[in-house]
Amino acid sequence: MKYKICLTFILVFLISGFLPLQSQESFTMGKDITVEEDEVQNIIISFGGDVLVKGKIKESVIAFGGTVTIAGEVGDLVLGFGTCITLKSSAVVKGDVASLGGTLNREYGSTVKGDTIYFETPEDITKFLPLGLTGTLSHLYLFLKLISAFIWFLLALLVTAFFPRQISFASSQIRKSFWPVFGTGLLSIFVFTGLMIFAALLCLVLIGIPILFCLIILGFIIKVFGRVVLFFFFGESLMNAFGKSKSSPILIVILGLILVSIIQFIPIVGFIFSFCLSIIGWGVIIRTKFGTTENIFKRTS
């Protein structure tokens, strides 16, 4: 648990240091954001702060905790997790408004051109938990799931910030060559598992310890990169299904992560779904060499 906490703080530091380098985008931890009437920004992501939009947001406002007050215009999505969302009478949201575990207040005259999704309390979300989990056990299960989703959120932001083109390209190969990707992933997992067992046996003579350590790091990198590619794939598919125009890679990945997290809450189906994601993730990373080539096994003449 300690190493997960340390990893989370490191990721937060790196993300908060690099994401603001992009102009007209805000990413804050515990700080308030105000967009004045004559200001225009692309996207806002806030953790625990208060967001006030009087001007224009071209894409989305995403908040974890805190408050979000919209008095101006948002071009796509307003999304809050445990957030108090208020839409003033002058608010115009051209996309959707979603509130999960928070509150949503709409003044008369506010405009939402898309859909409104609202889960008022955590009990609404626990309806999706496996049967038999009640009381404290269900809340613990939900807490662990949310912590896992939060860590994946940080990892996804970090990877997307550094490798947006590679992620987009690898995602396109899933749709183009699904079964070859799936087969590559299945074979890769079998081979990797065999290597892990062999390295573990070599640990008896010490030489296997560095090999096993390197394999663990490699497996972690492939899993993270592959899962972010899948977040992008599902996020882009979701936006295409609703006829949305292409948006920033970060927003697409976040939407995909939310969709994947919801599916993983479903008993049995979520486990099978996660296993299939692992196979596809490994396959697309190995086959495209981390999104840098169409097919690493293709012969060159």
Asked if residue 132 belongs to a domain, the reply is: no
Ranges of the chain whose pLDDT falls below 50? 1-23, 121-123, 126, 128, 131-133
Q: How many structural domains comprise the chain?
A: 2
- How high is the pLDDT of residue 233? 92
Same domain, 148 and 46: no
Q: Which domain holds residue 178?
A: 138-288
- How high is the pLDDT of residue 158? 85
Write down the H helix ranges in 61-177.
122-125, 135-162, 164-176
Q: Measured between alpha carbons, how far is 107 from 223 in angstroms, rounded to an integer?
A: 44
C-alpha 106, offset from chain centre: 27
**C-alpha gyration radius of the chain:** 21
Instruction: Name the amino acid, one letter, at 210.
Output: P
Tokens 């809340």 -> residue: 139
- How high is the pLDDT of residue 28? 59
Asked if residue 296 belongs to a domain, the reply is: no
Asked if residue 71 belongs to a domain, the reply is: yes
- The pairs formed by 233-236 with CB atoms below 8 angstroms and a separation of 24 or more are 233/171, 233/174, 233/175, 234/259, 234/260, 235/259, 236/171
Same domain, 165 and 275: yes
Same domain, 92 and 61: yes
Asked if residue 295 belongs to a domain, the reply is: no
- How high is the pLDDT of residue 241? 73
Residue 66 class from Cβ within 10 Å (0-12 exposed, 13-18 middle, 19+ buried)? buried
- How high is the pLDDT of residue 23? 46
- How high is the pLDDT of residue 142? 61
- How high is the pLDDT of residue 179? 92
pTM: 0.66
For 290, half-sphere exposure in the C-beta direction (CA atoms, 13 angstrom radius) is 12
- How high is the pLDDT of residue 52? 92
Joined together, the tokens standing for residue 192 give 């990797």
Same domain, 107 and 174: no
